[in-house]
Amino acid sequence: MATWVIARLTFREAARRKILWAALILGVAFLALYGIGVYFIHREIQHSISSQNLTAMRETFSFVLMAGLYVVNFLVVMMTVLTSVDTLAGEIASGTIQAVVTKPLRRYQVVLGKWLGFAAMLALYVALMGGGVVIVTYILTGYSAPGVPRGLGLMVMEGLALLSVCILGGTSLSTLANGVLAFGLYGLAFVGGWIEQIGSLLRNETAVNIGIVSSLLMPSEAMWKRAAYEMQSSLASTIGMSPFTSTSVPSPLMILYAALYITIMLALALRQFSRRDL
């Protein structure tokens, strides 16, 4: 079926892009650095804190793990946007799309195929990188985080939200405009997330509302916060202020909303591409 042909082609194309290899190499370099860091932290903790204080140890390693996953999260976002931003826009601009769309297939199959190809690449990257950080931590410290599959799954959803926006943008915008849109929305969600955090600490309702609106416009940050929540013990998430603790954790409803968001963005992309002149 044409959709699968395009999906396979997209996956292959993404796999050979320099950006992906840069993301992989960076990721691996990061893993190595992370491993070294964890090793030394582990050694220091063994000497300074009494081994009786397991809770403190666990919380330290949990913090370190979340820090590692935060970097992975950032790499995933970069990789997703940078590889998918010109998949449609570029092919339309160069005319490559013409010999494809005139085949006996429907336009939506091209968009869906591309989405599927990138989604598979994204899931693989999260599994490799995120899984890598979790495994390295476990090997070096024996700490195993709760809810890892759910957490990684939510990180994939975060990527899918951005991917869907890039695909939709690609049906109408140039590569550059599409990139600005995607990163712009991500930045909006990011800042909005912090505003919501601060607002909830200071009990400022306006700030909280701004945060909520921003997460509705782009649920990426909400997905990360929920993922962080799922992968920490309930104690850790209420202590302190860090990028991975929340005084206002997104509710499970937000996950449903994100799924809806992804579906709607994709549906709009399918429709838009089916109608436009090429």
Partner 1 sequence: MDQTLAIETHHLRKVFGDKVAVQDLTLDVRQGEVFGFLGPNGAGKTTSVKMLLNLVAPTSGKGQLLGKPLGDVTARACVGFLPEHFRFHDWLNASEFLHLHGQLYGMSDAQRQERVSKLLDLVGLAPHSDKKLRSFSKGMLQRIGLAQALLNEPQLVFLDEPTSGLDPVGRRLVRDIIRDLKSQGATVFLNSHLLSEVEITCDRVAFIKHGQVIRQAALQTLVEGQTAVELRVGNLSPHIVAGLARWGEDVRADSDHVHLTVADESALPQIARWIMEQGGSLYAMTPQKLALEDLFLQVVGTDGGL
Residues of this chain that interact with partner 1 (CB under 8 A) are: 2, 5, 9, 13, 16, 94-96, 98-106, 275, 277-278
Instruction: Please identify, using beta-carbon distances, which residue of 89 and 182 lies nearer to partner 1.
Output: 89
Q: Which is nearer to partner 1, 3 or 62 (CB)?
A: 3
Question: Cβ closer to partner 1: 5 or 268?
Answer: 5
- In whole angstroms, how close is the CB of 275 to partner 1 at the nearest point? 7
CA distance 187 to 196: 14
Cβ at position 181, least distance to partner 1 in Å: 24
Minimum gap (Å) between residue 183 Cβ and partner 1: 26
Q: Is 160 exposed, middle or buried (0-12, 13-18, 19+ CB in 10 A)?
A: buried
Minimum CB separation of residue 240 from partner 1 in Å reads 48
CB-neighbour burial class of residue 96 (10 A; exposed 0-12, middle 13-18, buried 19+): exposed
User: Which phi and psi angles does 85 have, rounded to 5°?
Assistant: -65, -30
CB-based burial of residue 95 (10 Å sphere; 0-12 exposed, 13-18 middle, 19+ buried)? Answer: exposed
Least Å distance, CB 96 to partner 1, is 5
- Closer residue to partner 1, CB minimum distance, 2 or 67: 2
Min CB(273)–partner 1 separation in Å: 12
Burial per residue of 169-184, b for 16 or more beta-carbon CB atoms within 10 angstroms, e otherwise: bbbebbbeebbebbbe
Q: Are 233 and 148 in contact (CB under 8 A)?
A: no
Q: CB-based contacts of 8: which residues, under 8 Å, 6+ apart?
A: 117
Which residue, 174 or 200, is less far from partner 1 as judged by CB?
174
Separation of alpha carbons 278 and 276, rounded Å: 6
Report the residue number, 7 or 145, with the smaller CB distance to partner 1: 7
